[in-house]
Protein backbone atom coordinates (compact mmCIF):
# COMPACT_ATOMS: atom_id res chain seq x y z
CA UNK A 1 0.00 0.00 0.00
CA UNK A 2 1.42 3.38 -0.95
CA UNK A 3 0.16 6.92 -0.52
CA UNK A 4 2.75 8.35 -2.89
CA UNK A 5 1.45 9.79 -6.15
CA UNK A 6 4.13 7.91 -8.07
CA UNK A 7 5.30 8.83 -11.57
CA UNK A 8 3.71 5.66 -12.83
CA UNK A 9 0.96 4.80 -10.36
CA UNK A 10 0.06 1.59 -12.21
CA UNK A 11 3.45 -0.02 -11.76
CA UNK A 12 4.71 -1.17 -8.39
CA UNK A 13 8.36 -0.46 -7.82
CA UNK A 14 11.03 -2.13 -5.75
CA UNK A 15 12.04 -0.28 -2.59
CA UNK A 16 15.61 1.04 -2.80
CA UNK A 17 17.33 0.62 0.55
CA UNK A 18 21.02 0.98 -0.19
CA UNK A 19 23.70 2.09 -2.58
CA UNK A 20 27.30 0.95 -2.90
CA UNK A 21 29.51 2.35 -5.64
CA UNK A 22 27.89 1.64 -9.00
CA UNK A 23 25.17 -0.53 -7.42
CA UNK A 24 21.75 0.13 -5.95
CA UNK A 25 20.21 -2.45 -3.62
CA UNK A 26 16.51 -3.10 -3.08
CA UNK A 27 14.63 -4.38 -0.04
CA UNK A 28 14.75 -7.94 -1.40
CA UNK A 29 18.53 -7.74 -1.51
CA UNK A 30 18.70 -7.52 -5.32
CA UNK A 31 21.60 -5.50 -6.70
CA UNK A 32 21.28 -3.30 -9.78
CA UNK A 33 24.23 -2.05 -11.77
CA UNK A 34 23.41 1.63 -12.21
CA UNK A 35 24.43 2.23 -15.82
CA UNK A 36 22.45 5.45 -16.12
CA UNK A 37 23.22 7.11 -12.77
CA UNK A 38 19.43 7.38 -12.42
CA UNK A 39 18.98 10.10 -15.03
CA UNK A 40 22.67 10.94 -15.51
CA UNK A 41 22.92 12.09 -11.90
CA UNK A 42 25.13 9.77 -9.87
CA UNK A 43 28.58 10.68 -11.14
CA UNK A 44 30.44 9.35 -8.07
CA UNK A 45 28.14 6.39 -7.55
CA UNK A 46 26.42 5.71 -4.27
CA UNK A 47 27.63 5.98 -0.69
CA UNK A 48 30.87 7.82 -1.37
CA UNK A 49 32.42 8.13 2.12
CA UNK A 50 33.96 11.58 1.63
CA UNK A 51 30.78 13.07 0.28
CA UNK A 52 28.60 11.57 3.01
CA UNK A 53 31.09 12.81 5.63
CA UNK A 54 30.93 16.34 4.18
CA UNK A 55 27.14 16.20 4.26
CA UNK A 56 27.04 15.05 7.85
CA UNK A 57 29.55 17.66 8.88
CA UNK A 58 27.66 20.53 7.25
CA UNK A 59 24.29 19.36 8.59
CA UNK A 60 25.81 19.27 12.07
CA UNK A 61 27.19 22.81 11.78
CA UNK A 62 24.45 24.62 9.92
CA UNK A 63 21.64 23.01 7.97
CA UNK A 64 19.95 26.15 6.66
CA UNK A 65 20.26 29.91 6.47
CA UNK A 66 17.97 32.00 4.26
CA UNK A 67 19.82 33.80 1.47
CA UNK A 68 18.08 37.09 2.17
CA UNK A 69 19.93 37.18 5.51
CA UNK A 70 23.18 35.26 5.04
CA UNK A 71 25.72 33.76 2.74
CA UNK A 72 27.58 30.61 3.80
CA UNK A 73 31.04 29.19 3.50
CA UNK A 74 30.20 26.09 1.37
CA UNK A 75 28.12 28.21 -1.03
CA UNK A 76 30.97 30.73 -1.43
CA UNK A 77 33.60 28.05 -1.93
CA UNK A 78 31.53 26.14 -4.47
CA UNK A 79 30.89 29.36 -6.42
CA UNK A 80 34.65 30.06 -6.44
CA UNK A 81 35.24 26.60 -7.89
CA UNK A 82 32.49 27.00 -10.50
CA UNK A 83 33.78 30.37 -11.70
CA UNK A 84 37.41 29.27 -11.69
CA UNK A 85 36.55 26.31 -13.95
CA UNK A 86 33.87 28.01 -16.07
CA UNK A 87 34.04 28.81 -19.79
CA UNK A 88 35.53 32.23 -20.65
CA UNK A 89 33.36 35.21 -19.77
CA UNK A 90 31.42 33.47 -16.99
CA UNK A 91 31.90 35.30 -13.72
CA UNK A 92 28.94 34.54 -11.44
CA UNK A 93 26.85 31.72 -10.07
CA UNK A 94 23.13 31.77 -9.32
CA UNK A 95 22.15 28.76 -7.21
CA UNK A 96 18.94 26.75 -7.43
CA UNK A 97 17.83 23.26 -6.43
CA UNK A 98 17.58 21.41 -9.75
CA UNK A 99 17.52 21.51 -13.53
CA UNK A 100 14.06 22.95 -14.15
CA UNK A 101 14.64 25.71 -11.61
CA UNK A 102 17.94 26.47 -13.31
CA UNK A 103 16.20 26.83 -16.67
CA UNK A 104 13.47 29.05 -15.22
CA UNK A 105 16.11 31.29 -13.68
CA UNK A 106 18.14 31.41 -16.90
CA UNK A 107 15.11 32.43 -18.97
CA UNK A 108 14.10 35.13 -16.52
CA UNK A 109 17.65 36.41 -16.19
CA UNK A 110 17.96 36.62 -19.98
CA UNK A 111 14.78 38.64 -20.10
CA UNK A 112 15.83 40.91 -17.24
CA UNK A 113 19.21 41.48 -18.90
CA UNK A 114 17.51 42.81 -22.02
CA UNK A 115 15.16 45.02 -20.01
CA UNK A 116 18.09 46.41 -18.02
CA UNK A 117 20.03 46.79 -21.26
CA UNK A 118 17.36 49.05 -22.72
CA UNK A 119 15.92 46.45 -25.11
CA UNK A 120 12.58 45.52 -23.55
CA UNK A 121 11.26 44.55 -26.99
CA UNK A 122 13.31 41.33 -26.80
CA UNK A 123 10.56 38.96 -25.73
CA UNK A 124 11.00 35.80 -27.82
CA UNK A 125 12.95 32.64 -27.13
CA UNK A 126 14.01 30.15 -29.76
CA UNK A 127 14.80 26.56 -28.82
CA UNK A 128 15.06 23.24 -30.63
CA UNK A 129 12.65 20.44 -31.29
CA UNK A 130 13.42 17.18 -29.53
CA UNK A 131 15.07 18.76 -26.53
CA UNK A 132 14.20 18.55 -22.85
CA UNK A 133 14.69 21.43 -20.48
CA UNK A 134 12.49 20.48 -17.54
CA UNK A 135 8.87 20.18 -16.50
CA UNK A 136 8.03 23.57 -14.97
CA UNK A 137 6.05 25.84 -17.26
CA UNK A 138 8.91 28.00 -18.57
CA UNK A 139 11.26 25.06 -19.03
CA UNK A 140 8.50 23.00 -20.64
CA UNK A 141 7.76 25.86 -23.02
CA UNK A 142 11.31 25.95 -24.35
CA UNK A 143 11.41 22.14 -24.43
CA UNK A 144 10.75 20.63 -27.81
CA UNK A 145 9.22 17.29 -26.97
CA UNK A 146 5.71 17.07 -28.42
CA UNK A 147 4.01 14.63 -26.04
CA UNK A 148 5.35 16.28 -22.91
CA UNK A 149 4.09 19.67 -24.06
CA UNK A 150 0.75 18.68 -25.58
CA UNK A 151 -1.62 18.72 -22.54
CA UNK A 152 -0.12 21.94 -21.20
CA UNK A 153 0.28 23.78 -24.50
CA UNK A 154 -2.41 26.39 -23.69
CA UNK A 155 -0.45 27.41 -20.58
CA UNK A 156 2.95 27.72 -22.20
CA UNK A 157 4.60 30.91 -23.37
CA UNK A 158 5.07 31.03 -27.09
CA UNK A 159 8.50 29.68 -28.03
CA UNK A 160 9.76 29.14 -31.57
CA UNK A 161 11.43 25.79 -32.25
CA UNK A 162 14.03 25.06 -34.90
CA UNK A 163 15.60 21.75 -35.95
CA UNK A 164 17.86 19.85 -33.58
CA UNK A 165 21.40 19.01 -34.66
CA UNK A 166 20.68 15.31 -35.08
CA UNK A 167 23.00 13.94 -37.74
CA UNK A 168 21.51 10.42 -37.85
CA UNK A 169 18.18 11.77 -39.06
CA UNK A 170 18.82 15.36 -40.05
CA UNK A 171 21.98 15.29 -42.16
CA UNK A 172 21.08 14.55 -45.75
CA UNK A 173 23.01 12.00 -47.87
CA UNK A 174 26.02 13.68 -49.44
CA UNK A 175 25.89 16.66 -47.06
CA UNK A 176 29.12 17.28 -45.13
CA UNK A 177 29.04 18.06 -41.42
CA UNK A 178 30.05 21.59 -42.24
CA UNK A 179 27.22 22.00 -44.73
CA UNK A 180 24.76 20.50 -42.27
CA UNK A 181 25.96 22.85 -39.50
CA UNK A 182 25.69 25.77 -41.93
CA UNK A 183 22.15 24.81 -42.92
CA UNK A 184 21.05 24.64 -39.28
CA UNK A 185 22.68 27.96 -38.45
CA UNK A 186 20.91 29.54 -41.45
CA UNK A 187 17.60 28.12 -40.18
CA UNK A 188 18.22 29.73 -36.79
CA UNK A 189 19.10 33.05 -38.38
CA UNK A 190 16.00 32.94 -40.58
CA UNK A 191 13.87 32.33 -37.49
CA UNK A 192 15.45 35.28 -35.68
CA UNK A 193 14.69 37.49 -38.67
CA UNK A 194 11.15 36.13 -38.97
CA UNK A 195 10.43 37.00 -35.33
CA UNK A 196 11.89 40.40 -35.93
CA UNK A 197 15.43 41.74 -35.58
CA UNK A 198 15.92 42.98 -32.03
CA UNK A 199 12.97 40.95 -30.73
CA UNK A 200 14.66 37.68 -29.76
CA UNK A 201 15.97 37.36 -26.20
CA UNK A 202 17.77 34.04 -26.33
CA UNK A 203 18.48 30.75 -28.07
CA UNK A 204 18.30 27.69 -25.83
CA UNK A 205 20.03 24.37 -26.55
CA UNK A 206 21.40 21.29 -24.82
CA UNK A 207 25.05 21.05 -25.87
CA UNK A 208 24.70 17.26 -26.11
CA UNK A 209 21.04 16.28 -26.20
CA UNK A 210 20.20 13.83 -23.41
CA UNK A 211 16.86 12.37 -22.37
CA UNK A 212 14.78 13.08 -25.46
CA UNK A 213 17.29 12.08 -28.16
CA UNK A 214 19.67 9.74 -26.37
CA UNK A 215 23.10 11.38 -26.11
CA UNK A 216 23.28 13.17 -29.46
CA UNK A 217 26.37 15.38 -29.81
CA UNK A 218 26.42 18.29 -32.25
CA UNK A 219 28.34 17.98 -35.52
CA UNK A 220 31.68 19.80 -35.72
CA UNK A 221 31.31 23.54 -36.07
CA UNK A 222 27.58 23.68 -35.26
CA UNK A 223 27.90 25.64 -32.03
CA UNK A 224 30.55 27.99 -33.42
CA UNK A 225 28.11 28.95 -36.16
CA UNK A 226 25.27 29.25 -33.66
CA UNK A 227 27.44 31.49 -31.48
CA UNK A 228 28.13 33.73 -34.50
CA UNK A 229 24.45 33.99 -35.40
CA UNK A 230 23.53 34.85 -31.81
CA UNK A 231 26.26 37.51 -31.62
CA UNK A 232 25.20 39.06 -34.91
CA UNK A 233 21.67 39.56 -33.61
CA UNK A 234 22.25 40.35 -29.93
CA UNK A 235 20.64 37.04 -28.93
CA UNK A 236 21.88 35.39 -25.72
CA UNK A 237 23.13 31.82 -26.06
CA UNK A 238 21.72 29.76 -23.20
CA UNK A 239 23.24 26.30 -22.96
CA UNK A 240 21.45 23.65 -20.94
CA UNK A 241 24.13 21.38 -19.52
CA UNK A 242 21.91 20.05 -16.75
CA UNK A 243 22.42 16.51 -18.03
CA UNK A 244 25.49 16.63 -20.26
CA UNK A 245 27.59 18.93 -18.07
CA UNK A 246 29.79 18.65 -14.98
CA UNK A 247 32.14 16.10 -16.47
CA UNK A 248 29.74 13.65 -18.06
CA UNK A 249 31.23 14.05 -21.57
CA UNK A 250 34.86 13.99 -20.43
CA UNK A 251 35.35 17.74 -19.96
CA UNK A 252 33.83 19.65 -17.07
CA UNK A 253 31.52 21.46 -19.48
CA UNK A 254 30.41 19.90 -22.75
CA UNK A 255 30.76 23.25 -24.56
CA UNK A 256 34.54 23.20 -23.98
CA UNK A 257 34.70 20.59 -26.77
CA UNK A 258 32.81 22.97 -29.07
CA UNK A 259 35.28 25.81 -28.55
CA UNK A 260 32.58 28.27 -27.52
CA UNK A 261 31.28 29.89 -24.35
CA UNK A 262 27.62 30.59 -23.60
CA UNK A 263 26.15 33.72 -22.02
CA UNK A 264 24.18 31.64 -19.54
CA UNK A 265 24.62 27.98 -18.74
CA UNK A 266 22.58 25.71 -16.51
CA UNK A 267 24.08 22.79 -14.60
CA UNK A 268 22.49 20.46 -12.07
CA UNK A 269 22.47 16.66 -11.98
CA UNK A 270 26.20 15.88 -11.87
CA UNK A 271 26.90 18.99 -9.79
CA UNK A 272 25.72 17.30 -6.61
CA UNK A 273 25.87 13.78 -8.01
CA UNK A 274 22.55 12.94 -6.37
CA UNK A 275 23.81 13.49 -2.84
CA UNK A 276 21.68 16.61 -2.61
CA UNK A 277 19.30 18.44 -4.96
CA UNK A 278 21.26 21.35 -6.39
CA UNK A 279 21.58 23.27 -9.63
CA UNK A 280 23.09 26.51 -10.79
CA UNK A 281 23.06 29.07 -13.55
CA UNK A 282 26.51 30.20 -14.61
CA UNK A 283 26.26 33.83 -15.62
CA UNK A 284 28.44 35.91 -17.96
CA UNK A 285 30.11 38.91 -16.43
CA UNK A 286 28.36 41.36 -18.80
CA UNK A 287 24.92 40.02 -17.85
CA UNK A 288 25.69 40.42 -14.16
CA UNK A 289 27.08 43.94 -14.66
CA UNK A 290 24.10 45.06 -16.76
CA UNK A 291 21.59 43.79 -14.18
CA UNK A 292 23.59 45.34 -11.36
CA UNK A 293 23.72 48.70 -13.13
CA UNK A 294 20.05 48.43 -14.08
CA UNK A 295 17.54 47.02 -11.61
CA UNK A 296 20.38 46.35 -9.18
CA UNK A 297 19.41 42.78 -8.41
CA UNK A 298 17.91 39.74 -10.13
CA UNK A 299 14.19 39.76 -9.50
CA UNK A 300 13.92 36.10 -8.58
CA UNK A 301 14.57 33.70 -5.69
CA UNK A 302 13.53 30.49 -3.94
CA UNK A 303 13.53 29.43 -0.30
CA UNK A 304 16.18 26.76 -0.71
CA UNK A 305 18.64 28.36 -3.07
CA UNK A 306 22.30 28.05 -2.09
CA UNK A 307 21.29 25.49 0.55
CA UNK A 308 24.42 24.97 2.68
CA UNK A 309 24.14 21.18 2.89
CA UNK A 310 23.55 20.93 -0.85
CA UNK A 311 26.52 23.21 -1.55
CA UNK A 312 28.73 21.22 0.84
CA UNK A 313 27.76 17.98 -0.90
CA UNK A 314 28.40 19.44 -4.36
CA UNK A 315 31.72 20.88 -3.27
CA UNK A 316 32.77 17.47 -1.94
CA UNK A 317 31.67 15.78 -5.18
CA UNK A 318 33.58 18.24 -7.34
CA UNK A 319 36.65 18.09 -5.10
CA UNK A 320 36.82 14.30 -5.44
CA UNK A 321 36.35 14.48 -9.24
CA UNK A 322 39.19 16.96 -9.56
CA UNK A 323 41.54 15.28 -7.06
CA UNK A 324 41.06 11.82 -8.56
CA UNK A 325 41.40 13.02 -12.16
CA UNK A 326 37.99 11.58 -12.99
CA UNK A 327 37.46 13.66 -16.12
CA UNK A 328 40.28 11.74 -17.80
CA UNK A 329 38.70 8.54 -16.51
CA UNK A 330 35.38 9.55 -18.09
CA UNK A 331 37.08 10.01 -21.46
CA UNK A 332 38.94 6.69 -21.16
CA UNK A 333 36.01 4.64 -19.89
CA UNK A 334 33.82 6.37 -22.46
CA UNK A 335 36.00 4.91 -25.20
CA UNK A 336 35.69 1.51 -23.53
CA UNK A 337 31.92 1.83 -23.35
CA UNK A 338 31.71 2.84 -27.00
CA UNK A 339 33.84 -0.12 -28.10
CA UNK A 340 31.63 -2.52 -26.19
CA UNK A 341 28.45 -1.02 -27.62
CA UNK A 342 29.95 -1.21 -31.09
CA UNK A 343 30.92 -4.87 -30.55
CA UNK A 344 27.42 -5.80 -29.45
CA UNK A 345 25.31 -3.54 -31.63
CA UNK A 346 27.18 -2.37 -34.75
CA UNK A 347 25.71 -5.25 -36.75
CA UNK A 348 22.51 -5.61 -34.80
CA UNK A 349 19.53 -5.57 -37.20
CA UNK A 350 17.54 -3.23 -34.93
CA UNK A 351 20.17 -0.76 -33.74
CA UNK A 352 20.46 2.11 -36.19
CA UNK A 353 22.89 4.37 -34.38
CA UNK A 354 25.40 4.33 -31.52
CA UNK A 355 26.46 7.79 -30.35
CA UNK A 356 27.56 9.99 -27.50
CA UNK A 357 30.55 11.41 -25.72
CA UNK A 358 32.42 10.28 -22.64
CA UNK A 359 30.17 8.35 -20.28
CA UNK A 360 27.09 9.70 -22.02
CA UNK A 361 26.08 7.38 -24.83
CA UNK A 362 22.99 6.10 -26.52
CA UNK A 363 21.72 3.54 -28.96
CA UNK A 364 18.74 4.16 -31.23
CA UNK A 365 16.42 1.29 -32.05
CA UNK A 366 14.86 0.97 -35.51
CA UNK A 367 12.55 -1.53 -37.14
CA UNK A 368 14.56 -1.30 -40.35
CA UNK A 369 18.19 -0.22 -40.48
CA UNK A 370 18.12 0.61 -44.17
CA UNK A 371 15.13 2.96 -44.04
CA UNK A 372 15.66 3.99 -40.35
CA UNK A 373 11.95 3.37 -39.84
CA UNK A 374 11.18 3.32 -36.11
CA UNK A 375 9.06 0.76 -34.28
CA UNK A 376 5.36 1.36 -33.78
CA UNK A 377 5.25 3.64 -30.72
CA UNK A 378 2.29 1.61 -29.41
CA UNK A 379 4.71 -1.25 -28.72
CA UNK A 380 6.59 0.90 -26.20
CA UNK A 381 9.80 -0.90 -27.00
CA UNK A 382 11.79 1.45 -24.77
CA UNK A 383 9.68 0.56 -21.72
CA UNK A 384 10.13 -3.15 -22.45
CA UNK A 385 13.90 -2.71 -22.64
CA UNK A 386 13.90 -0.93 -19.30
CA UNK A 387 11.91 -3.77 -17.72
CA UNK A 388 14.10 -6.47 -19.24
CA UNK A 389 17.24 -4.65 -18.12
CA UNK A 390 15.96 -4.31 -14.56
CA UNK A 391 15.10 -8.00 -14.52
CA UNK A 392 18.80 -8.57 -15.31
CA UNK A 393 19.98 -6.24 -12.56
CA UNK A 394 20.79 -3.35 -14.90
CA UNK A 395 19.55 0.24 -14.77
CA UNK A 396 19.47 2.11 -18.07
CA UNK A 397 17.45 5.15 -19.19
CA UNK A 398 15.39 4.32 -22.28
CA UNK A 399 12.92 6.76 -23.78
CA UNK A 400 10.42 6.88 -26.65
CA UNK A 401 9.63 9.68 -29.08
CA UNK A 402 13.18 9.90 -30.40
CA UNK A 403 12.22 10.73 -33.98
CA UNK A 404 9.50 13.32 -33.55
CA UNK A 405 8.34 13.27 -29.95
CA UNK A 406 6.04 10.31 -30.59
CA UNK A 407 7.79 7.54 -32.48
CA UNK A 408 11.31 6.20 -32.08
CA UNK A 409 13.09 4.50 -29.19
CA UNK A 410 16.53 4.91 -27.67
CA UNK A 411 18.45 3.79 -24.62
CA UNK A 412 20.60 6.31 -22.76
CA UNK A 413 23.64 5.17 -20.78
CA UNK A 414 25.33 7.39 -18.20
CA UNK A 415 27.20 5.26 -15.69
CA UNK A 416 29.02 6.81 -12.71
CA UNK A 417 32.55 8.06 -13.42
CA UNK A 418 33.91 5.35 -11.08
CA UNK A 419 32.63 2.54 -13.33
CA UNK A 420 35.27 -0.15 -13.98
CA UNK A 421 36.11 -1.94 -17.23
CA UNK A 422 34.57 -5.11 -15.73
CA UNK A 423 31.41 -3.20 -14.92
CA UNK A 424 31.29 -2.04 -18.55
CA UNK A 425 31.46 -5.66 -19.72
CA UNK A 426 28.48 -6.43 -17.52
CA UNK A 427 26.61 -3.34 -18.79
CA UNK A 428 27.10 -4.34 -22.42
CA UNK A 429 26.24 -8.03 -21.82
CA UNK A 430 23.09 -7.30 -19.87
CA UNK A 431 21.96 -4.54 -22.21
CA UNK A 432 22.41 -6.77 -25.26
CA UNK A 433 20.37 -9.51 -23.57
CA UNK A 434 17.69 -7.01 -22.49
CA UNK A 435 17.36 -5.52 -25.98
CA UNK A 436 17.03 -8.95 -27.56
CA UNK A 437 14.49 -10.09 -24.97
CA UNK A 438 12.42 -6.92 -25.52
CA UNK A 439 12.55 -7.41 -29.30
CA UNK A 440 11.41 -11.01 -28.85
CA UNK A 441 8.53 -9.68 -26.72
CA UNK A 442 7.56 -7.28 -29.48
CA UNK A 443 7.83 -9.93 -32.19
CA UNK A 444 5.73 -12.36 -30.13
Q: Which of 144, 210, 273, 398 binds ligand PLP (CB under 6 A)?
A: 210
Give every strand in the sheet of 23-26, ordered side by side: 16-20, 23-26, 31-34, 394-395
Of 205, 211, 200, which is closest to residue 225 (Cα–Cα)? 205
Residue with the shortest CB distance to ligand PLP: 99
Q: In the bound complex, what is the minimum distance in angstroms from residue 439's beta carbon to ligand PLP?
A: 27
Q: In the bound complex, what is the minimum distance in angstroms from residue 31's beta carbon to ligand PLP?
A: 25
39 binds ligand PLP (CB under 6 A): yes
In this chain, which stretch among 128-136, 226-234, 285-293, 303-311 interacts with ligand PLP, using CB under 6 A? 128-136
SS (H, E, C) the chain: CCCCCCCCCCCCCCCEEEEEECEEEECCCCEEEECCHHHHCCCCCECCHHHHHHHHHHHHHCCCCCCCCCCCHHHHHHHHHHHHCCCCCEEEEEEECCHHHHHHHHHHHHHHHHHHCCCCCCCEEEEECCCCCCCCHHHHHHCCCHHHHHHHHHHCCCEEEECCCCHHHHCCCCCCHHHHHHHHHHHHHHHHHHHCCCCEEEEEEECCECCCCCCECCCCCHHHHHHHHHHHCCCEEEEECCCCCCCCCCCCCHHHHHCCCCCEEEECHHHHCCCCCCEEEEEEHHHHHHHHHCCCCCCCCCCCCCCHHHHHHHHHHHHHHHHCCHHHHHHHHHHHHHHHHHHHHCCCCCEEEEEEECCEEEEEECCECCCCECCCHHHCHHHHHHHHHHHCCEECEEEECCCCCCCCEEEEECCCCCCCHHHHHHHHHHHHHHHHHHHHHHHC
99 binds ligand PLP (CB under 6 A): yes
401 binds ligand PLP (CB under 6 A): no
Q: Which of 116, 189, 191, 206 binds ligand PLP (CB under 6 A)?
A: 206
Site for ligand PLP in 371-390 (CB under 6 A): none
How far apart (Å, rounded) are the C-alpha atoms in residues 15 and 417? 25
Q: In the bound complex, what is the minimum distance in angstroms from residue 99's beta carbon to ligand PLP?
A: 2
Kindly tell me which of 78 and 399 has the beta carbon lying closer to ligand PLP: 399
Kindly tell me which of 226 and 426 has the beta carbon lying closer to ligand PLP: 226
# chain residues binding ligand PLP, by CB under 6 A: 15
Q: Which of 33, 35, 268, 365 binds ligand PLP (CB under 6 A)?
A: 268
100 binds ligand PLP (CB under 6 A): yes
Kindly tell me which of 134 and 415 has the beta carbon lying closer to ligand PLP: 134
Q: In the bound complex, what is the minimum distance in angstroms from residue 103's beta carbon to ligand PLP?
A: 6
132 binds ligand PLP (CB under 6 A): yes
Q: In the bound complex, what is the minimum distance in angstroms from residue 246's beta carbon to ligand PLP?
A: 12
In this chain, which stretch among 147-155, 204-212, 339-347, 359-367 interacts with ligand PLP, using CB under 6 A? 204-212
Q: Which of 21, 74, 87, 134 binds ligand PLP (CB under 6 A)?
A: 134
305 binds ligand PLP (CB under 6 A): no
103 binds ligand PLP (CB under 6 A): yes
104 binds ligand PLP (CB under 6 A): no
217 binds ligand PLP (CB under 6 A): no
Q: Which of 86, 107, 211, 284 binds ligand PLP (CB under 6 A)?
A: 211
Q: Which of 74, 98, 144, 214 binds ligand PLP (CB under 6 A)?
A: 98
How far apart (Å, rounded) are the C-alpha atoms in residues 181 and 220? 8
How far apart (Å, rounded) are the C-alpha atoms in residues 405 and 55? 39
Per-residue binder mask for ligand PLP (CB under 6 A), 229-258, x = binder? -----------x-xx---------------
Q: In the bound complex, what is the minimum distance in angstroms from residue 100's beta carbon to ligand PLP?
A: 3
Query: Interface with ligand PLP by CB under 6 A: which residues?
Result: 39, 98-100, 103, 132-134, 206, 210-211, 240, 242-243, 268
Amino acid sequence: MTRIFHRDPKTSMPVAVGGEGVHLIDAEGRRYLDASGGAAVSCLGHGHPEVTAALRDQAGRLAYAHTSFFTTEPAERLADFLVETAPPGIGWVYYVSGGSEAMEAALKLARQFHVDNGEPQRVHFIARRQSYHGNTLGALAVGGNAWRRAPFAPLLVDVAHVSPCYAYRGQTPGETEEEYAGRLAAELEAEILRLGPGRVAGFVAETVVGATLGAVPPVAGYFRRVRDVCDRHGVLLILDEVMCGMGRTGTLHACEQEGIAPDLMTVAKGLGGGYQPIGAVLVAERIYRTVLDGTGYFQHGHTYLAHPVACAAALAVQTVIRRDGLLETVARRGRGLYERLRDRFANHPHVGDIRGRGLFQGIELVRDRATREPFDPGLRLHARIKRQAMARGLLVYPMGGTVDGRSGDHVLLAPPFIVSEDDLDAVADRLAAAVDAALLDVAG
